[in-house]
Each structure stands twice: as structure tokens, then as C-alpha cells.
Amino acid sequence: MADTLVRAAPVQATGPRRRAGSRTRPRSGPAYLLLLPAVAILLLGLGYPVYWQVVTSLQEYGLAQQFGQPPEFVGLENYARIFAEDDLWAVVVRSLIFCMVNAAATVGIGLALALLMRAVRPWVRLVLQSCLLLAWAMPMVAAVTVWRWLFDWRTGVVNWLLVQIGFDGYAGHNWLAQPLSFFFVATVIIVWMSVPFVALSIFAGLTQVPDEVLEAARIDGAGPAQTLRHILVPMVRPVIAIVLLLQVIWDLRVFAQIRLLQDSGAPVSETNLLGNFIFELGIGRQDFAGAATVSILVLLLTVLLSWPYVRSLMKELS
Amino acid sequence: MLASLTLTACSGDSDEPSDEPAGDDDVAAEGAEITLWLAGGDTPQELRDYLIDTFAAENPGSTLTIEEVGWGDLVTRLTTALPDAANTPDVVEIGNTQSPTFTTVGAFRDLSGIYDELGGSDLLQSFVEVGSVDGKQYALPYYFGSRYMFYRKDIWTAAGLEVPTTLGEFADAVAQLKTDTQSGFAMGGQDWRNGISWVFAHGGELATVDGDTWTSTLSDPKTIEGLEAWQSIYQTASNIPATERDVAYWDFLNDGTDGAAPAAATIMAPGWARWSLGDLTTNDAGEEVRDGMADTNKWGIFGLPGVDGGLAPVFAGGSNIAISAQSQNPELAENLLRIIFSEDYQTMLGQNGLGPGNTQYTSSLGDDEFAQTMMDTAAASKLTPAAPGWAAVEAAFVYEELFQKIAEGGDVAALAAEYDDIITPMLNG
């Protein structure tokens, strides 16, 4: 994936390649034909669930309907009902903040690691890359379980370490009891799991920066900070933009990590994010219509958040 | 996930699901595969093997597949699997308090035709009622459990304490036993399934029904009294965080590593917790196991005492069993129920410490202290409200939150009023 991103980046950034692309235009008929299977699969795989979601959000659909009673069309009643709940807006705000903080932290740390990889000797880089890949390849449930053990109030290493270095108040401290420290632990886990992808993508982007440019900058007397600000970051901006966008979308939909942490004891309604809220409505309370309604809202939020990027991408292409 | 894939494969291979119910006799003659979903690991392997073997012997050509579904996933899995004729399990175990959620929407097959044959009025009636709608039985009692107190007799004796006879004495004793490193009574703040015993003991209820309408009654003075008693006992006797629930309490009562002092002097747990308690010993297979509280000077049990003596009503755990309305092999499924409600199987349940659904066979539990305490506490036990929305309340962790806030020292009356407003609409589905 990193490879594709890198190759995509120069296409947007440089002129000659774009012209190379336009040379193929006369033969665009077969190209559209080749697109057809992908579009068909998208429509089947995504279109039908979205259609079902929209229809369900306009019906009264609970457990009775799941067991065969005909659902009744209620128009926008579900929207009125769900949007009137204070719970929902608390969850939306919480999710947006959580998503932004996580995406920013992930990309920031990822960029730092990518620069580090560029600066160190090859064997150190190899060790770093292997570690990152291992962290990324770790199955999520296993990773969250280990993190839960680390932060366990009774037998966790984190509390033990804090007590060893003199913070006695952390003996038996429960990290998951308060929403703020709960989200701190969740952020640590999620950033830890997503940094590798970001770091490796940006690093791959950095390897494409021509040495001549850097050499020229050095001759002109640019220091490391200036090189970073005026040369490196602008040249890998497309990569950073797309990983940031992906990260925002992924972090808005985070579900399992939060759910697994909640299972080890946390005030559930105060730590729910959008995904968990939908799960609780649909699966927990069997209010499938309400869950569908919130899902549509999440879809709209995602479109809204990714719109600036999509627009700039379209501008580049046209 | 794996289980459901297997399930699809199974039913696809042999049941040949179709939209119309298959001719029962045909299927029985051809032989078919039926599936039983058991919840959690409560049913021992020996009993599972018995069911599989006996079913195969009595229904030549047909086989029984048993799949285990975790308690936490059960309602979710049933919600998606039961309406789907191609993927539904034929027979399912379900928590007794979860039954109404499914019986009221017609998810289960009417069993009133074979009710008398399976035991009729001998079956545990509180469980039968929770599985009935309009006088028809849809889910029948599988087994009942009960919970009682396990305590470290050595620690209690050293402190000069005796088995308490009233709830007040119990509260004083466990408060006295609490130190920085030892809970007098280990209980997590979110652990409402144990905590509601204090509500019941004070004559309180979680909810009442008038006609079809359920009302949450946390603000009832008696319920508040019970919740306050529980708040006080949590704060004076337990070192466990307010966010904990479903704690493996036996780990706290057992000696620590290398004979270190235990982290608790008393716990409340279902009867089977006995086999996770005691001193370490080696079984026939050479594995290190607990000896089941063999040293009676060190370990003991008692039922939670009532406010004025006697026994406090505790929350009775337990399961019902039902046939999916969409089962393609209802005759075979009924045959399986006949095996489950047979004297042999009911007796085996009792011998394994699970209270048999048919009260005629309760004596199979044995006559030792454990069996006696279990029967006594079960007789005094209560169920949670049989409201249609009960499973939804459980799934949303509402009581967990309420009890956590109470454990953290919140104002009980204010919290009760706040949560009544949340719970009442949920109860009515």
C-alpha cells in the first residue's frame, strides 16, 4: 500500500507525468470497461447495505420486526427521536475530539519516526521497521488484551513501575474508571497500532525526495529544521494528506478497542464512541432503526470530514 | 464467528433448509443433524457427551452437534440466528431473565403440547413462568444455581468472629476484617448481580408490573434502604475498584503466591466456585488443582443472612431451554428435550452441582453442606424482572453504571430517581 501511495504522490506533484497520463485518453473506452467490475462490486457490497440502512432508518424496526412482523414506515420519526437525545450529541462531540486527537498524534509520531528512519544507519532502520511491522501485524484483540494487562489495577506493570519510581498513589489505581484516563489508555493503544502504517508510508514518501534537491538546500545553507519545513514536508505533503485522511476516517469508526476496554470495567455510557453507541442501540437494545439512523449520521460525518481532501484531489486532477 | 461458520456448513449439508417447514417424519427418517447452543461452560463435558451419545442412540441416523456460545454474546447471537431458518440452532439455552425478550416476539416454539410429558408442574415454576406467554410455555427450566458466601474460617476465627445470623452482623464483621491489603468482603462496585441481594433483603424490588406496564422502582423507600446498605458495605469492607464486575473472586480468597495472605476474607459466588477454591493439590492427571475446600478449619460457607435473621433472598442464576420457532427439525429437537428432562440427565445435573430443572430430582445435589446451602439459598432466591426489555437493560450496562456510582459514594436517592427515568422506558421494550 505504501508503494502505491508513493507512486501516486509524484503524479499529482509533477507536470510531465500528468501529460503522460493524458496521452492515454483516446483509449479510454476499454478503461471504462475495466472499471466496470470494480464499480459493480462496490455497488453490490456497499450500495445494498447503504440502501437497507436508509430504508431501515425510515421504519419502525425492532426485535419484533427481526422476528417477522412487517415493519411500519414512520418517515423521519427515528431521526427526530434520536437527534433529540442528549446522549447522541455527547457521543458525537466525544468521537470527533477523540478522532482528531488520535489522528493528529498518530501522524505526528509517524512523521517523527519516518524522519528518524531516514537519519539512522541501515541496520538500525531495519530493526525499527521490523518492530513497526510487528506492532502493525499484531491481531487487535491480542494487542488490546496485553495493553489491558499492562494497565490492570491490581497486577499491571504500569502501576508497579509508577510505584517503584515513587508515585505511591498509583498502587491499585484504576485507569479505566474515569472517562479521561480511559480515553488516555485508548489513545495509547490506538496510536500504537496505527503509527506503523503512517510511519512506513511517510518514510517511503521521503525516499522519493531527490538527493540533488537536498544537496542544493544544504549548499544554500539550510539547516535541518529549514530542510524539513521547506523541502521535505512540502514534497511528501500528498502522502501526509492521505494518511491523515485515512486516519481520521479510521479513528472516527473505532469500535473494538473501546468495546474491549469497556469489558474490563468502565462507565459504559460515558465512554461510548459512535461505533459503540450504534452497537449498543442495535445489538444491545434491539433498536435496529435507531442504530441505522445513527449510522447514516456517521456516514454524513465521514463525508463531511473527508470532503476538503476529496475536493483538493479533484482540483489536482482536473 | 467460527461457530457460526460451522453452523452454516452443518445446516447447509444435511438440513437442506427451505422456506416451508420440512415434513418432520421425512427428516427423521432420513436422519438429520440438529444443533444445541449451550451458554458458557456451565454444562460439564460429561453431560455434553451423554447428550450426544444418547441422542444418536435414540434417533438412529441423526446426530446432535453442541456449540458453546459465551454468555456475553448470547443475546446478540440469538438475535441474528434465531429468525434465520437456514442458520438457526434447533435448541438453545438462554439465561432465565433473558427469556422474555425472545418469548414475547415469538422466537421460540410453543412447548405446551409436551409440557406435561417433560415434567409439568414438577418443573421449577418461577423459571416456567419467566418462559411463558399467555399461559403457553416457550422456554423451560434447564438448571438453577444459587450464590452464597465463601469465607476464610481461619481468618474469621483469628479475629474472634462467628458466622453471622443477621445482615447487620455480617456488615459489621466484614468491616472489621478489612485492612489495606485484605478486603473483609471482596466485591466490585459494578457487581449488581450480587449487590441486588441487599435490595431484596430489605424487601425492595428493581421493578414492578401493572398489567403490561413495567415501572422501575429504585426510588421505592425499601429499595433505597437496600442500596444504601450495599453502598455502606462496599465502602467499609471491599478494596476492589468501583468499576469491577464479573471478578474472579476466588483468586482473592485463595492464598497468594508462595502462601502469601489472601486478598479477601469473604466472597459471594455461585456454588461451583468451590472447585476454584482451596489449597493446591495434584489431581490424577498430575495437574495442579484446588482441593475444593477440603480443610474445613480453613474454609467455610454460609448463606447470606436476612435483615432479621434467616436467609436473605439472593439473585438466582440459572437457565431456560427452548426450541427455535424456525427449527427445521422440531420433532428431533423435542426428542432432545425428552432426553434433557429424563431422570438420568436431571440426576446428572444435580451430581454436577447444577440444580435440576425438575424439582423431583433436587436430592441428586447430595446432602453435604454445599448441597444443603445451595438448596436453602435457592429456595429463598429471587429473579430479576421478567420484563420484555430486560435483556436490553443488561446489554446497555445500566445497572453496572448505577451500582458503580453508588459504590463511589453518590447520593442514592438522587441516583435512584435518575435511573428510574432511564430504566422504565427500556423495560417496556
- All domains of chain A, ordered by start, with CATH? 89-274 (1.10.3720.10)
- Average pLDDT of span B131-141: 92
Question: B138 is in which domain, residue-wise?
Answer: 2-145+317-379
- Average pLDDT of span A40-60: 90
pLDDT digits (tens, 9 = 90+) for A221-234: 888 888 888 888 88
The verdict on A43 touching B (C-beta cutoff 8 Å) is no
Q: Among B80, B105, B424, B427, which would you mutate to test the A interface (most chain A Cβ atoms within 10 Å of its Cβ)?
A: B105
Same domain, B420 and B285: yes
Same domain, B281 and B422: yes
- Average pLDDT of span A115-127: 92
Query: Mean pLDDT lowest for which of A101-115, A186-200, B276-290?
Result: B276-290
pLDDT digits (tens, 9 = 90+) for B2-23: 333 333 333 333 334 444 444 4
User: CA A316 → CA A313, B24, B186, distances in Å?
Assistant: 5, 66, 64
Query: Mean pLDDT lowest for which of A97-106, A168-177, B402-411?
Result: A168-177
| Contact at CB, A174 and B106, closer than 8 angstroms | no
- Average pLDDT of span A281-298: 89
- Average pLDDT of span A306-317: 80
pLDDT band at B267 (very low <50, low <70, confident <90, very high): very high
Are A199 and A114 a contacting pair, CB within 8 Å? Answer: yes
Same domain, B272 and B297: yes
| Contact at CB, B396 and A280, closer than 8 angstroms | yes
| Contact at CB, A280 and B395, closer than 8 angstroms | yes
Task: Outline where B181-258 has alpha helix (H).
Answer: 192-201, 221-237, 250-253
B-chain CB neighbours of A62 within 8 Å are 429
pLDDT band at B402 (very low <50, low <70, confident <90, very high): very high
| Contact at CB, B396 and A284, closer than 8 angstroms | yes
Please give the Cα distance from A303 to B263 (Å, whole number). Answer: 52
Same domain, B155 and B250: yes
User: In angstroms, what separates the C-alpha of B145 from chain A's closest C-alpha?
Assistant: 24
Residue B386 lies in a domain: no
pLDDT for A27: 64
Query: Mean pLDDT lowest for which of A252-266, A302-316, B206-220?
Result: A302-316
pLDDT for A15: 41
| Contact at CB, A265 and B401, closer than 8 angstroms | no
User: Strand, coil or helix: what is B62?
Assistant: coil
Same domain, B28 and B82: yes
User: In angstroms, what separates the C-alpha of B401 from chain A's closest C-alpha?
Assistant: 6
pLDDT for B17: 41
- Average pLDDT of span B292-317: 90
pLDDT band at A26 (very low <50, low <70, confident <90, very high): low
Same domain, B338 and B348: yes
Half-sphere exposure of A124 (CA within 13 A, CB side): 9
A130's CB contacts (< 8 A; 6+ apart) are: none
Instruction: Output the CA torsion sign for B221, B226, B229, B231.
Output: negative
The verdict on A172 touching B (C-beta cutoff 8 Å) is yes
pLDDT for A25: 55
Residue B390 lies in a domain: no
Same domain, B218 and B304: yes
User: Which of the given ranges, A238-242, A304-308, B8-12, B261-265, has the highest pLDDT on average?
Assistant: B261-265
Same domain, B298 and B365: no
> Which residues in B have their CB inside 8 Å of a CB on A?
72, 75-76, 79, 82-83, 101, 105-107, 188, 190, 239, 241-245, 325, 389, 391-392, 395-397, 400-401, 404, 426, 429
B-chain CB neighbours of A283 within 8 Å are 75-76, 79, 395
- Partner-chain residue, chosen from A63, A176, A283, that has the shortest CB–CB distance to B101: A63
Residue B324 lies in a domain: yes
User: In angstroms, what separates the C-alpha of A66 from chain B's closest C-alpha?
Assistant: 7
The verdict on A279 touching B (C-beta cutoff 8 Å) is no
Residue B388 lies in a domain: no
Domain total in chain B: 2
pLDDT for B363: 86
What phi and psi, each to the nearest 5 degrees, are found at residue B280?
A: -75, 140
Compare A141 and B97 and report the one with higher pLDDT: A141
> The CATH number of the domain where B200 resides is what?
3.40.190.10
Residue B293 lies in a domain: yes
Residue A190's nearest CA partner among A114, A110, A112 is: A110
pLDDT band at A5 (very low <50, low <70, confident <90, very high): very low
C-alpha torsion angle, residues A116, A122, A127, A128 (rounded to 10)? 20
Same domain, B235 and B337: no
End-to-end CA distance of chain A: 25
- Partner-chain residue, chosen from A174, A284, A286, that has the shortest CB–CB distance to B241: A174
pLDDT digits (tens, 9 = 90+) for A264-279: 778 888 889 999 999 9
A-chain CB neighbours of B106 within 8 Å are 67-68
Are B50 and B345 a contacting pair, CB within 8 Å? Answer: yes
Are A121 and A110 a contacting pair, CB within 8 Å? Answer: no
- Using only C-alpha atoms, what is the Rg of chain B? 23
- Partner-chain residue, chosen from A63, A172, A280, that has the shortest CB–CB distance to B105: A63
Residue B65's nearest CA partner among B3, B23, B17 is: B3
pLDDT digits (tens, 9 = 90+) for B10-67: 333 333 444 444 444 444 446 789 999 999 888 889 999 999 999 999 999 999 999 9
Mean per-residue pLDDT of chain A: 85
- Average pLDDT of span A241-265: 88
| Contact at CB, A265 and B190, closer than 8 angstroms | yes
Same domain, B245 and B135: no
A-chain CB neighbours of B401 within 8 Å are 267-269
Region class of B146: left (phi > 0), else alpha (psi between -120 and 50), else beta = beta
Residue B327 lies in a domain: yes
Same domain, B55 and B171: no
pLDDT digits (tens, 9 = 90+) for B354-366: 889 998 898 888 8
Are A59 and A72 a contacting pair, CB within 8 Å? Answer: yes
pLDDT for B8: 36
Please give the Cα distance from A202 to B382 (Å, whole number). Answer: 61
Same domain, B40 and B160: no
Residue B277 lies in a domain: yes
Which residue in chain B has the smallest CA separation from A276? B396
Compare A70 and B219 and report the one with higher pLDDT: B219
| Contact at CB, A280 and B242, closer than 8 angstroms | no
Q: Give the pTM.
A: 0.77
Are B304 and B170 a contacting pair, CB within 8 Å? Answer: yes
B-chain CB neighbours of A280 within 8 Å are 395-396
Residue B385 lies in a domain: no
| Contact at CB, B392 and A285, closer than 8 angstroms | yes
| Contact at CB, A67 and B83, closer than 8 angstroms | yes
